[in-house]
Every structure is written in structure tokens, then in C-alpha cells.
Amino acid sequence: MIEPSQEEFPSANEPQLTPELAIANLQSSDLSLRYYAAWWLGKYRIKASAAVDGLIVALEDEADRTELGGYPLRRNAARALGKLGDSRAVPGLIKCLECDDFYVREAAAQSLTMLPDRTAAPALMKLLDGGVAQAVQVLGRPHLVQPYEAVLEALGAINATEAIVLIQPFLEHPVPRVQCAAARAMYQLTQEAMYGELLVKVLGGNDLNLRRVALGDLGAIGYLAAAEAIAQCKAENSFKLISLKGLLEHQIPEKSDVLSLSDAAIRVMNLMDSLL
Amino acid sequence: MTNELIRGVDLADTPEKMITAVQKLAATQDPAAIPTLIAVFGYNNPAAAAIASAALVNLGEVAVPQLLAQIDDYNYGARAYSIRTLAAIADPRALGVLIDAAANDFAPSVRRAAAKGLGSLHWHKLDMPESQTAPKKALETLLFISEDTEWSIRYAAIVGLQTLANIPDLQQPIHTRLKEMLVTDAETAVRARILLAQNEKC
């Protein structure tokens, strides 16, 4: 049984950092300290403006390179910026979508999902150039030519309705996880139940990892009609609880001071209670 | 008869055969099946484990001593089923184990099951003064874990506290804590669950 909580095995062997030290370490001569500091600032949600500034600078780092030409520090900085929720990071992340390093592009697209800003739409759409026909595996690498999953999810999250015609063909992409991402985005952009139902269908499939992906997607889009199917899905309760939490949060009016409970919200909570 | 069915579980060599064998053994409702049913929690077969757990809940109190003694310290998946089963039987002899699991286990699934169970033990089955002191110990633990950093642990603590508020003596501290959490908790889902607890009980 795998649980999604990253806090599950708290690590005692991390060097003790403070926000000030981590920000300073972003410019350390020791590249491994820079790399660690970028991860740490995201992990502990250090939202100080000096942290955001330091990480934005790190998006253009040239010092830290892998043998294959990757940019480890840029990857970590891009991931951290998504977690800090500061929209000043958006232009730098958009620029990262053109980086040679697949993993930098992927991290940037994932973070743009968390910092929903419509100005990212053209650069994200560009990564879908060539459509499904061009969306193939890179020879000898464990990934496709572009981070399609993250790109599709980001386009859905920023409500890029102009991208619908580009996204829809990816429902037929041969990689099931990409299909899920397309269904998720299509639901967010159209609110049509048929796309939510595509994800519900995955919950009944025989691939556990894919069922977990669909649980995450259904939680992200808050597709209420899936509630019972989520509770009954053959997956760990931790994944189901996170998914139902997403449904529940979509039932609570945003930015209202007075939290009120609809019947639907109560229904979702009763299901959550049964999974404890 | 039961011995044969126990052997059937031991010999099952596919997940499907395991499920069928556990179903047959569960149907006997024979206390002699208890150790085997508990062992099924460790076989990484969720469908079989759910059947075994339901059978043990059905057997009730008679299964409690062995459930307490056979908790698997090395397999948190199995441990979660044990705790969930003890919580569902609700025999208050499980109090110490549930407190330890809720406060100290590293696995969230185990902690959540224990937190829910801590609210709903059958306190009246204890003699005085334990029937008075035991729910207070449960309360202390639930208040403690209601400050956990992980949202799902706080959520489960609220579910436990809501049930525990059926005890008149404990209502006041529970109301106070829920009010406080409603203001301070960062998670919408947790705040929604507090409202539900307040609407239903408090």
C-alpha cells in the first residue's frame, strides 16, 4: 500500500536551514547547496519576496548542468515557484517553456497550473504544435517530446478556451495518462459531463497507477457526479480522500466569509468519513 | 470443517482463490477462524482483507483480545485494517492501542482509523471509575492530534470529537476546540467538516 503523503517518512538527515540561509545558498559556490536550497524554499513554502526573487534568477542558471545538458537548479526553482503562489514568477516560467531541458519545461508547466495566469496560454499552446501525430516518445528517453500531461493540465487550469480545438485530439493519444489530462482540461474548459465520465471510466480500469491519476484529476476538476465511484474505486483510502476533498472544496463558495453546507457537500463528507 | 476452510486460506495461491477461501471461512462465524482472518490483513489483498474485517466485526468482542495481540508492527497496511476493525467493534479495551496508534503511528491511514475509533468506543462497558476516565483520555488524544500538520488527520480528529461530544461532561472542551479550529484552520475541507459536526451535534 502506497500513501501519497510526502510527510510519511519525515527525514531527520536534512541539513538545518533557515529561510535566510536558504535564500543566501541559492548563490552558494557549492552547486549542490543551491539545488537543495531551491527545493527547500518550495517545500517549506517560504513566500518572502527575496525567496521569490532568488528563485526567479535561478530560472536562468547556467552553472548547474547534467551530462545530458539538463538544468537541475532551473528544474527545482521552477517547481518551487509554483508552490509559492507569487504571480511575479509567471514571465520567467513562461520563458522556461522554451528551455532545451524537457524537465524544466515540465516543471514550468506544472507550476503554471498552480499560478493560473492566462498570459501563459500562447506559450503552452505552442508546445502542442504538430498535434497528436508529433506527440511521440523521444528515442532512448523515458518521456515524450513535450510534457503533454502538464501542458494540457495547465491550459485547463488557466481556462484557455482558445486551446480547446488543440486539446480535444489528445483524448485519443495512445498514452492513457495523456488522455486523462486531456479529459481533465476539456472538462474544465467546457464543463461537459462527458469528459468527467471519461475519468470515471478510468476508475474502473485495471491499472492501479492510472486509477490514482484519475482520482487526482477528478479531485482537481471537482466532478461531483463521481463521488460514489471515487469512494468505491480500488485504490488506497488516502488517494480517495484527497480526491473527495477536491470535490468538497468545489462545493464551498469561494471567498465567502460564511461557510454554508449544501446537501452535496454533506454527501461528500459522509463518504469521506466512511474512508477513515 | 473450520480447519479445512483455514487450510483453504493458507493454500490459496491466487488473489481470486484467496477471496473465495476467505469468504467461505468468514461464513462459518467460528471463533476458531479469528487468527487466520487477522492474518489475511497482511496478504496485500484489499478485497480479502475487507471480507476478513467484516467477519471479525461480526464476531465482535470475542475477537478483540487476539486483534489487540496480533497487531502487525511491521506492515502499516495490515495495521490499518486491525485498527479499523477494532474501531468498528468499539470494545473499550482497545483504548490504549487506539491512543498509541492515533498519536504515534507514522502511517496516516492508521492514525485516521484510530482517531475515528477513539470517539465511538462503548464506554459504558467499563467499570467505574474507568468508564469516566477512559473517554477523557480519548479526548486528550483527539485534542492533541487536532493540531497535526496533515489535513486528513485533523479531519479524522473532528469526526472522533463529534462522536465523543455525546458525553455531556466532554461537550464544553469539544465545542471550544471546534470553534477555535473553525477560525484558524487553513483548509476549507476541514472547516466544512467542523460546520457539519456543529450542525449535527453541538
Q: What is the pLDDT of residue A255?
A: 65
Q: What is the percent of chain A where pLDDT is above 70?
A: 93
CA-CA distance, A1 to A19, in Å (whole number)? 35
CA-CA distance, A143 to A146, in Å (whole number)? 8
Contact A74, A32 (CB under 8 A): no
Q: What is the pLDDT of residue A258?
A: 64
Q: What is the pLDDT of residue B33?
A: 96
Answer whether B177 touches A (CB < 8 Å): no
Radius of gyration of chain B (CA): 18
Q: Tell me which residue in A8, A238, A261 faces B196 most closely, judged by beta carbons.
A: A261
Q: What is the pLDDT of residue A2?
A: 46
Q: What is the DSSP letter of A144?
A: B
Q: Which residue of A has its CA nearest to B111?
A: A276
Q: How confident is the model at residue A16 (pLDDT cuts 50, 70, 90)?
A: confident
Q: Is the pLDDT of residue B46 over 70?
A: yes
What are the tens digits of pLDDT across the range A97-114?
999 999 999 999 999 999
Nearest to B43 by CA among B16, B4, B67: B16
Q: What is the pLDDT of residue A139?
A: 87
CB A5 to CB B113 under 8 A? Answer: no
Q: Is the pLDDT of residue A217 over 50?
A: yes
Q: What is the pLDDT of residue A4?
A: 52
CA-CA distance, A81 to A52, in Å (whole number)? 7
Q: Is the pLDDT of residue B104 over 80?
A: yes
Contact A272, A251 (CB under 8 A): no
Best to test chain A binding among B86, B109, B184 (most A CBs inside 10 Å): B109
Is the bond leading into A142 cis (omega within 30 degrees of zero)? no
Answer whether B107 touches A (CB < 8 Å): yes
Q: How confident is the model at residue B200 (pLDDT cuts 50, 70, 90)?
A: confident
What are the tens digits of pLDDT across the range B50-85?
999 999 999 999 999 999 999 999 999 999 999 999
CA-CA distance, A23 to A4, in Å (whole number)? 28
Q: How many residues does chain B have?
A: 202
Give the ipTM.
0.92
Ranges B2-11, B33-42, B92-101: which has the least confidence:
B2-11
Q: Is the pLDDT of residue A9 over 50?
A: no
Q: Is the pLDDT of residue A14 over 90?
A: no
Answer whether B151 touches A (CB < 8 Å): yes
Q: What is the percent of chain A where pLDDT is above 90?
A: 87
CA-CA distance, B182 to A127, in Å (whole number)? 43
CB B107 to CB A8 under 8 A? Answer: yes
Q: Is the pLDDT of residue A3 over 80?
A: no
pTM: 0.88
Answer whether B193 touches A (CB < 8 Å): yes
Contact B91, B65 (CB under 8 A): no
Q: What is the pLDDT of residue A1?
A: 41
Distance of CA B25 to the CA centre of its chain: 23
Work out how many CB contacts closer than 8 A connect A with B: 63
Contact B148, B187 (CB under 8 A): no
Does residue B148 sit in helix, strand or coil? coil
Residues of B in contact with A273 (CB under 8 A): 116, 159
Q: What is the pLDDT of residue A7?
A: 43
**Torsion angle of C-alpha atoms B115, B105, A246, A215, degrees rounded to 10:** -120
Cell numbers describing residue A69:
545538458
CA-CA distance, A228 to B48, in Å (whole number)? 21
Q: How confident is the model at residue A257 (pLDDT cuts 50, 70, 90)?
A: low
Q: Is the pLDDT of residue B155 over 70?
A: yes
CA-CA distance, B10 to B20, in Å (whole number)? 12
What are the tens digits of pLDDT across the range A137-186?
988 889 999 999 999 999 999 999 999 999 999 999 999 999 999 999 99
CA-CA distance, A36 to A113, in Å (whole number)? 23
- The rounded mean pLDDT for chain A is 92
Residue for cell digits 474507568?
A: B130
Cell numbers describing residue B122:
462503548
Residues of B in contact with A1 (CB under 8 A): 44, 76-77, 80, 109
Q: Is the pLDDT of residue B89 over 60?
A: yes
Beta-carbon count within 10 A of A105 CB:
22
